[in-house]
Each structure stands twice: as structure tokens, then as C-alpha cells.
Amino acid sequence: MGFPEAAARSLLRLRPDKPPEQEPEIKRAKKYWGLAEQSGSYRTNRDEISQSEPETLSLPTFQNFLKVELRPRQVDALNTWESANRQGILAMATGAGKTITGLACAASVKDLDFIVIGAPTNEIVQQWVDELAHRTTFRTPLIATGGAELWMEPLFRKLRLIHSGQLPRERLPVVVVGSYSELSKSRIDNLIDDAGGLPQHSLLIADEVHATGAAVFRRILRNDFQFRLGLSATPVRLYDEEGTELVLEYFGGVVYEFTLEQAIAAGILCEYEYHVYVTQLTASEYVRFQNLTTKIARLYNSDEEDAIAQAKLLSIQRANLIKSAASKLAVLNHILSDHPPRRGMIYCADITQATRVSGLSNLHLLVVAPNF
């Protein structure tokens, strides 16, 4: 059937003055559905794929991934990490810009497919999410801090699409930011394996990297991460030689260091003094401490893995006993009397201790208790 002449003339009147400079975009979203739907037991959400990911984006480069200018020390750290085959730990003092440096390292990797950023607490996870939004042009990350239904299935689909080569390069890398407690769960390991493993060009960024040496978090240290970056002001784990060695070996050791002294000299941190106050355990606390010590010694003399694991748990209990010693509250009163602060921060062992400390003074003190 011939094309009607009247219709042809109408189309010619609407034509542009110049020919197109590139081929028109082909809508690809529907092509993804079948692949994801055939992949295991994870549900799919077609709207999530077709609506949340724009069809056209310019190919990112280092320049338009990162929206901030690096300082010389951050450039040095980046260059050192690159020279170490993009594996290593950056031991940078607080305030030296570890987060920005980590994002710069990620932005420098050409054709990166997948980024996992781990942190010990949800608060630090949120800091990374904020920095990603304000300092980079990376795509909005999946946030792994709970509510698994909100991020596990999208993660599974995205990994499958990467492996099939059907996720356009301009939509990469896929970024996941999560807490170690969430990312180290066996279900995440299984999800990645079910999706085909990590993509070839995958990067792990471990903030407060020493935390990954804890037995409960080590599952995140997968061997199929091609690129590995550890960040910490203190990469050595106190009283845990085994955990420290594991972290150093996995990440390839400390490749760059910006020390506390250098940070003070650069005006990033101020000088400070240590004043040591000694406390004692109460009679009941001492008895419990001795009992725990006896059990730990007996378990460490065993060659069984379960016994060693139990000894480590008891060691944590013993450490917590010292941290929360009742006599510390009385000593704190002396400290505040000897060194009355206009402002200050007090770190506590737990919520119970933090609550008691909060009632000691009306000064402008920030009382902090851990949440993990």
C-alpha cells in the first residue's frame, strides 16, 4: 500500500531544518524485564526499572563524577592507591578528608561496574549517602541499613543486568552503601552469588576499615572484589592481632599515611593533652573479671574453633565490664572539677552509663554512647 501523498507532505512540513546528529534513542527498559524475572526467586518491579533510571546520560568521567577539587594530600593518597594496583589502606587522621579521597578513588577507576561502601554505623552510612549526593554525580545508591525489601531485590536485578551486559555503561557504576552488620549477613553473600557473583570491575570501600577484622563482619571481605580501599585513622585493631593481620593482608597493607602530627602541623587538628585518671573495679566486678579471665584462658588453650570463638566473645564481655565500671562516675566528677570545660564530649560504654553521666553536670557536654 502506497504512503498517501497528503500525509507525506504533512510530514515533510514538520521535518527539522537539519538532519539528526545521532541515532534516536531506543527504549530498552522492557528488554530487561524478562531477564530479571527469570533470575531466581526475587520479585521484579517493572516501574522501578523503567522510571527510576533515565534512558540517556552522558558517559561519566573522573571530572564529572567528582564535584570538588582535591587537596594535595588527597591527590597524593589517590595516586599512591592507584600505583598499588588500586588496593590498599589510606591511614589518614581525622579531618584529613578520608571520605572525599575515597570518592575520588572510586571516580578514578575507568569502567567501574559496582561499588560497595561499608561503614560501622548507620550514622556514618548516612554521611556517605549525603557526600555522594552533594560531592559527586554518581547515581543514587541503594542503602543497606535495614528494610531489606527496599534494596535487596533492586540490587539483585541490577547485578543480573550488569552480568548480561544489558545495563548501559552510562548507568554504571551501581552503588550500594550499607552498615557492616547488614552487608556481612549470609543472605547478602547468597544474593550476590545467585546473581552471578560480583561484576568484574567491583570496588569495596571500607570506612573505619579496622572494624572489618571483627569475626562477625569478615564475610564482607569477598575475594572477588578486584579493587579494595580501606579508610581509617587507626587501621590497627587493639588487642586483636589476628583481626589486624587479616585486614592488612586483604587490603594489601597501608599504602598511604597522613599522621596525627601532620594533621596538627597542617592546622586541621589542634594539639591536646592526655590526663590519666585511674579507677578500680568494685568487689563484685573484680570477681566477675577474674571468672571471665579464667574461662578465657581455658578456652584459648583449646585447639577447637568453637572454643576460640567463645573465648573472643567472653573477651568482649570482660572489656565491656571494664568500660562500664561503676567507679568511673565518681572519677568523672573529679575530672570535671579539675578541668571544667566550657564545652566537651564524653564517650560512654552504653546507654545506661550515658544516662547516668548526663545527670552529673549542667555544662554544655555532648554525651555519646555507641549504637552497635
- Report the Cα 282 to chain-centroid distance in Å: 39
SS3 70: coil
Segment 300-356, tens digit of pLDDT: 887 777 887 888 889 888 988 998 898 988 888 888 888 887 777 888 888 888 888
Quick check: 79 pLDDT over 90?
yes
Quick check: 125 pLDDT over 70?
yes
Cis bond upstream, residue 199 (ω within 30): no
Q: Cβ(172)–Cβ(199) under 8 Å?
A: no
SS3 222: coil
Looking at residue 47, its pLDDT comes to 34
Segment 23-36, tens digit of pLDDT: 333 233 222 222 23
Q: Which domains does the chain have, with CATH numbers?
A: 29-265 (3.40.50.300), 283-368 (no CATH)
Looking at residue 368, its pLDDT comes to 59
Q: How many CA atoms lie within 13 A of 368 on its CB side?
A: 8
Looking at residue 348, its pLDDT comes to 83
SS3 358: helix
With 0-12 / 13-18 / 19 or more C-beta atoms within 10 angstroms meaning exposed / middle / buried, residue 335 is: middle
- d(Cα 250, Cα 372) in Å, to the nearest integer? 24
Largest separation between any pair of C-alpha atoms in the chain: 103
In the predicted model, what is the mean pLDDT of the chain?
80
